[in-house]
Amino acid sequence: MTPQSINDERFLKIIKQLSLMMTFMVFGVILLMLALFFNPDPRYWFKKSPEEIAFDKAFKEATAKRDSISKMENEIASFWKPTDMKTLKSDQATQEQIEYGKELIAHTSKYLGPKGSVSQSTNGMNCQNCHMDAGTKPWGNNYGAVYATYPKYRSRSGKEEDIFKRINDCFERSLNGKPLPNTSKEILAMKAYIEYIGSDVKKGTKPKATGIYELTALNRKLDPEKGKVLFELKCQSCHQADGQGIFAANQTEYTYPPLWGKNSYNIGAGLFRMSRFAGYIKYNMPQGASFQNPLLTDEECWDLAAFVNSQARPIKDLSSDWPKISEKPFDHPFGPFADQFSEEQHKLGPFAPIISENKKLSKNKI
């Protein structure tokens, strides 16, 4: 190839490149002119249409919902699960004892209530009225950690307590009744049931979703009047306007238990503390509520607890409770206290200052 032909080829290549560039430039100018013609404001050239915006929003919401469901499922999968009664393989006497224990938890009053077939030692409520699904529901005040953690020190008595004492505490406080002898058939059966359903839990541990959910304290005083309105809207269809519940047709137990009055839990019961009752409400009330489907906000739970626990109920001598007053919970409503806050604030809050002060006292070992 001669030098002249090489130069000619290079020239043709440059011409082709310039032609291609000119074509793109003309095409770009045409597009620009069309864009200016249809929408002269450049700010809107890349703006999405209402349909595109709606699609993006729906996609984001669907993705967030899917992620939320997945997170919920993973959380629930980690919850404590009771040992299945169907897998109960023991000698007949032990099996019957455990099954009787479950029956007593679910229908306590039938055997030990005012018209009980065994004795008349309680107010007519069932253990299951406070320990949902015979003590097996997640965050339903269940028994998941009882066998694994008892015996243990309890600051309310200032002593180490065993499961017998724990059961009898409920009989004396929540059921406003008399304690059972530790050798009785009934308490031995309830103990056997509680131990069986918690037998898969490692000793000294507390699995997720056991006991009662702990709600964050509000930054304000609880409002019983707001709670009253909520009670009328959400609760009285079951517990009745006077809070006395509905007695079952068999007249031996409550279908819906009384929340105050002579047949309800007394002032020494755990649920008389606002934090305990509010936490109990969160994933259990009104009927149908669960961890997957709470029906009340945290604020509503606190105010409902304030209303219910402001009503008259049986009295109990608490003079021997909390021998170390510095160990009293922030919402125990009866003095004396290690801090300077009033009984009213210990009952209705705001609780944050009390919690903060108690932490300081605990740190200083006062």
What confidence tens digit (pLDDT) does each residue in 243-267 have? 999 999 888 999 999 999 999 999 9
- Is 113 within 8 Å of 122 (Cβ atoms)? yes
pLDDT in tens, 38-51: 555 555 555 677 77
Give me the residue label for tokens 């709606």: 54
Q: How far is CA 227 from CA 20, 97, 222, 279, 352, in A?
A: 78, 42, 9, 15, 20
Q: Who's near 32: CB < 8 A, 6+ residues apart? A: none
Number of alpha carbons in the 13 Å side-chain half-sphere of residue 259:
23
Give the chain's mean pLDDT: 90
Does the pLDDT of residue 108 top 60, yes or no?
Answer: yes
Show the tokens assigned to 208: 């997720």
Rounded to whole angstroms, the Cα distance separating 242 from 223 reads 19
- Is 176 within 8 Å of 265 (Cβ atoms)? yes
Phi, psi at residue 332, to the nearest 5°? -75, 120
pLDDT in tens, 124-182: 999 999 999 999 999 999 999 999 999 999 999 999 999 999 999 999 999 999 999 99
pLDDT tier for residue 53 given thresholds of 50, 70 and 90: confident
pLDDT tier for residue 122 given thresholds of 50, 70 and 90: very high
- Map out the domains of the chain with their CATH numbers: 87-211 (1.10.760.10), 214-316 (1.10.760.10), 325-363 (no CATH)
Q: Who's near 146: CB < 8 A, 6+ residues apart? A: 163, 166, 194, 195, 198
53-67, 263-277, 332-346: segment of lowest average pLDDT: 53-67
Give me the residue label for tokens 């108690």: 358
pTM over 0.85: no
Rounded to whole angstroms, the Cα distance separating 91 from 267 reads 41
- Is 106 within 8 Å of 126 (Cβ atoms)? yes
